[in-house]
A and B are shown apart, each in its own frame.
Chain A
Amino acid sequence: MELYDLMHGAGLLFIFLGIVTIIVAGIGLFRLPDLYLRASAVGTSAGLGVASIVIGALLMDFSGLNLIKAAVAVIAQLLTSAVGSMAIARSGYLNNSMPAEITHTDDLLKTRRDLDADSHGEPSR
């Protein structure tokens, strides 16, 4: 019975950690200045939040089958959130969403075809 209580508590802890992570990610969505910061901070934090909730649920209701399900869910969740953030950021860059002012170096800008030709900031669409 003791082990059961322990796992139940740990499960609750993980679920609450996940909730906090998602809430912080939501706050970050408002507070961060541009698309790339949001994608990098929020995309993966939300992935971690969901993963943490899944792990918490697994601990509260542990069985061999659930272990497999949870492992698949966590891996898929982390992979898709990473690929999703990359896709969003990349398409944002291709669609001329410029990084915020505080971005001090931008190496990718040098490789741009459209901005290079007419060197003023507004690219032709």
Chain B
Amino acid sequence: MSTASSLTSWPWRMLSFLVWYAKAFVLANVYVTLDVLRPKKRMKMAPAIIAVPAASRSDTEWTLISCLITLTPGTLTLSISREHQILYVHGMFVDSRESLVGEIQEMEDRMLRALRRSPGDLRRPIQVPDVEPVEEPPGGELGDF
């Protein structure tokens, strides 16, 4: 798996992720700041909570991606579902589902490439599964849906 070329490009991938993230972070900051200061009528806010299919596998990857998403102003991880491989992300400027999903997945791709010695599989569930409420909690009286 870990060929010599993927090992030598590892530091480079890490560095490029850090630079890319710093840039995205500053841009998001400017964007949110401008919108907060804008008069109420012209605020461009379109918040939404979107289920984003994720490619993370290990604990480290899940923790890091949700922290990085939250750290970017304007996006916030609300919850994750590891078994369905979904990140529930609250976005501040969501024009469409695809735009937010694309944004988050680009960040995740870059993060995974920087984190893993070789990128490995970046597959994601293609379709968002219909997550049904489960009746697991003991004494949960509202099981049926």
Residues of A within 8 A of B (CB): 21, 24, 27-28, 31-32, 34, 36-37, 39-41, 43-45, 47-48, 78-79, 81-83, 85-86, 89-90, 93, 99-100, 102-114, 116-118, 124
A43 to B78, CA, bound (A): 14
Among B3-11, B33-41, B105-113, the stretch in contact with A? B33-41
Chain A's interface: helix, strand, loop or mixed, by majority?
A: helix
Residues of B with C-beta under 8 A to A78: 71
Asked if B45 and A45 make an inter-chain contact with CB atoms under 8 angstroms apart, the answer reads: no
Residues of A with C-beta under 8 A to B97: 105
Asked if A112 and B133 make an inter-chain contact with CB atoms under 8 angstroms apart, the answer reads: yes
Among B54-62, B86-94, B119-127, the stretch in contact with A? B86-94
A106 to B97, CA, bound (A): 11
Contacting A at CB under 8 A, from B45-82, are 45-51, 66-68, 70-79, 81
Residues of A with C-beta under 8 A to B134: 113
* Residue of A whose beta carbon sits closest to that of B40: A31
In the assembled complex, 13 residue pairs joining A and B whose CB atoms fall closer than 8 Å, in A order, are A24-B37, A36-B76, A41-B36, A44-B71, A44-B73, A48-B25, A83-B67, A85-B76, A104-B94, A105-B50, A108-B51, A113-B140, A117-B145
The answer to whether residues A104 and B144 also contact, given A24-B33, A90-B79, A110-B131 and a CB cut-off of 8 A, is no
In this assembly, does B32 line the interface, its C-beta being within 8 Å of a C-beta of chain A? yes
Q: Separation in Å of the A74 CB from the closest CB of chain B?
A: 12
Asked if B47 and A103 make an inter-chain contact with CB atoms under 8 angstroms apart, the answer reads: yes
